[in-house]
Amino acid sequence: MTRHSGAPPQEVRLLGGQWKRSKLPVADRPGLRPTPSRVRETLFNWLGQDLSGWRGLDAFAGTGALGFEAASRGARELLMVEQEPALVAQLQAVRARLKAEAVRVQRGDGLAALRAAAGQGLDVVFLDPPFDASGLFEPALRAAREAVSAEGFVYLESPRPWTDAELAPLGLVLHRHGRAGAVAFHLLRPVAP
């Protein structure tokens, strides 16, 4: 069957770690766009291939590609938060299939989960909110800043690039960034107090 270009893939593969090449299903849902493989590859080259002992939060988990990739590379605690019940069920099924003990799947609001994580000193927070929810980006970035440690990372995908001038009031600074098609991706660090 021919698929239109621009149609979401029906599955994505994990790229590294203990579950390398494992497939994650991609539900046909409006606005669901899994992080492209080449973007994930770049991100995990930036973060490092071995995330042993890391603690993280994937606030808008969707397919779980970012969170499962981190857990596959040794993260010891990874909370995935997703609102859509069908996606939550899919994440739980993948977690069970992979026996991903480090992963916790929670149905709920990603922004609320970020706010609840304030002061936890996480190593990484993944932010890939729905692109049509433009009002979500700033509060999510602000809450992510409060959830990561001084040496932690915040990963952001958005429909446009963010600048240091926009990020500074939120307590963040660009560490690395790139673009892949319609996706701007950013690795951010907390501003030193």
| Residue where the block lists tokens 């927070």 | 125
Length of the chain measured in residues? 193
Q: For 148, what's the count of Cα atoms within 13 Å in the CB-facing half-sphere?
A: 31
**pLDDT under 50 in the chain at which residues?**
1-5, 7
The dihedrals phi and psi of 154, each to the nearest 5 degrees, come to -120, 125
Q: pLDDT value at position 130? A: 84
Q: pLDDT value at position 49? A: 85
DSSP bridge pairs for 107: 82
What DSSP element (H or E) covers 172?
Answer: strand 172-180
The dihedrals phi and psi of 127, each to the nearest 5 degrees, come to -120, 110
Q: Model pTM?
A: 0.90
Q: pLDDT value at position 5? A: 42
Q: pLDDT value at position 19? A: 80
CA atoms of 16 and 169, how far apart (whole Å): 35
* Domains of the chain with bracketed CATH: 33-190 (3.40.50.150)
How does pLDDT run across 141-154, given as a tens digit for each residue? 999 999 999 999 99
Residue type, 171: G
CA atoms of 27 and 63, how far apart (whole Å): 8
Q: pLDDT value at position 16? A: 79
